[in-house]
């Protein structure tokens, strides 16, 4: 008998469908032999990544995500490069999940309704402290709003997706939750004043716990997008 309570098992592995598999799983090389195209090269790189030792994969994925985040923050400080840096940073972060099976990332179509509702609930929780204080005015310029969506999805795929999966394989859920939260917080060191990092870490912990409790990444993506658009 399956549990019926809340979101405690909203995406069991046995029923996971690879909703995003066509996007994430390495495609067969479509280039001619001897002249591999970008996709096949990328597929080969991701295949190598998947076959490395879990500890090495954790180090590679973590270091890559940190480098991308810090580079993004440095580049977006340059005049006129903010939106481009955000969008490219989001894409670069999302790319680290390329080749990882969708079920290991927590992406799937099973109980998609619950996942979406969960995402709305996470969004509401993330916005609650701002909303409770009347007059909190989250105002994101329109151009940045689109960039915010790219970065939100990219960050979730990288931190609660690929990095969480690698840490989970290395040391189980406690390491995955703690490790992804620590790296996520470190990734925001350059973009946030020190006073904000506690709240950033708490948000990362909440999203990682959701990822663990529901084996789901759809809700963290939705919640993160909502929060970034509003905050």
Partner 1 sequence: MKRVALLAAAVTLYVVAAWMVAPGFYDGFGPPAPYNWTCPPAQAGANTKPGSGHTDFKVVGGVSDAGSAYDRDGQIVIGFLPGALDGAGKTTIGVDVTPLATCPQPPGIQFVTNVYQITGAASIVKAANLVLRYSNLEPAPADVYFASDPAGPWKGLGIAQQAQPFTVVTSTKSFGYFAAGYLSASPPPGAVKVGGGSQTLPIIVAVLIVLVVLSGIPLAILRRRQSHGQVEEEGDV
Interface with partner 1 in residues 85-114 (CB under 8 A): 86, 111, 113-114
Among 46, 76, 180, 185, binds partner 1 (CB under 8 A): 76
Q: Of the two residues 76 and 100, which places its CB atom closer to partner 1 in the complex? A: 76
| Beta carbon of residue 183, minimum distance to partner 1 (angstroms, whole number) | 15
Total interface residues for partner 1 by CB under 8 A: 72
Quote the tokens at residue 47. 């295949």
Could you tell me the smallest distance in angstroms from the CB atom of residue 221 to partner 1?
A: 13
Close Cβ partners of 5 (under 8 Å, ≥ 6 residues apart)? none
76, 133, 140, 146 from 160: Cα distances, Å: 24, 29, 25, 21
- The verdict on 174 binding partner 1 (CB under 8 A) reads no
49 or 177: CB nearest partner 1 = 177
CA–CA gap between residue 191 and residue 207 (Å, rounded): 19
Q: By CB under 8 A, is residue 182 in contact with partner 1?
A: no
Q: Is 35 a residue that touches partner 1 (CB under 8 A)?
A: no
82 binds partner 1 (CB under 8 A): yes
Number of Cβ atoms within 10 Å of the Cβ of 44: 14
- 172 contacts partner 1 (rule: CB under 8 A): no
Q: Which is nearer to partner 1, 93 or 107 (CB)?
A: 93
Asked if 67 interacts with partner 1 (CB under 8 A), we say: no
Structure token pair of residue 23? 């996007």
CB 39 within 8 A of CB 30: yes
Give yes or no for residue 230 binding partner 1 (CB under 8 A): yes
Which of 203, 217, 218, 221 lies at the binding interface for partner 1 (CB under 8 A)?
Answer: 203
Could you say which residues in the range 5-24 bind partner 1, by CB under 8 A?
5-6, 8
Burial of 43 (0-12, 13-18, 19+ CB in 10 A): buried
Provide the angle, in degrees to the nearest 10, between the axes of the packed helices 112-132 and 197-214. Answer: 160
In angstroms, give the least distance from the CB of 45 to partner 1: 26
180 binds partner 1 (CB under 8 A): no
Nearest approach in angstroms of CB 131 to partner 1 is: 4
Q: Sign of torsion, CA 125 129 134 137?
A: negative
User: Given its phi and psi angles, is residue 110 left (phi above 0), alpha (psi -120 to 50 degrees) or beta?
Assistant: beta
CA 229 to the chain's CA centroid: 16
Helices (H) and strands (E) in the chain, counts: 11, 0
Pick the piece of the chain touching partner 1 (CB under 8 A) from 22-30, 53-61, 156-164, 183-191.
183-191
């Amino acid at each position: 008998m399956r549990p019926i309570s809340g979101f405690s098992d909203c995406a069991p592995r046995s029923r996971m469908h690879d909703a995003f598999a066509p996007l994430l799983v390495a495609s067969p090389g479509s280039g001619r032999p001897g002249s591999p195209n970008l996709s096949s090269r990328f597929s080969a790189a991701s295949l190598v990544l998947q076959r490395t030792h879990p500890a090495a994969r954790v180090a590679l994925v973590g270091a890559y995500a940190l480098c991308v985040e810090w580079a993004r923050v440095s580049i977006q400080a340059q005049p006129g490069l903010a939106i481009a840096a955000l969008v490219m940073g989001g894409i670069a972060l999302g790319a680290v999940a390329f080749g990882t099976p969708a079920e290991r990332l927590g992406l799937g179509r099973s109980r998609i309704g619950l996942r979406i509702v969960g995402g709305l609930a996470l969004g509401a929780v993330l916005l609650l402290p701002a909303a409770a204080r009347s007059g909190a005015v989250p105002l994101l310029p329109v151009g940045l709003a689109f960039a915010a969506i790219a970065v939100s999805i990219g960050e979730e795929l990288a931190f609660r997706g690929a990095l969480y999966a690698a840490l989970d394989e290395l040391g189980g859920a406690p390491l995955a939750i703690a490790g992804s939260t620590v790296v996520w917080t470190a990734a925001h060191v350059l973009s946030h004043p020190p006073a904000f990092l506690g709240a950033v870490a708490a948000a990362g912990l909440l999203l990682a716990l959701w990822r663990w409790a529901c084996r789901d990444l759809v809700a963290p993506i939705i919640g993160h997008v909502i929060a970034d658009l509003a905050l």
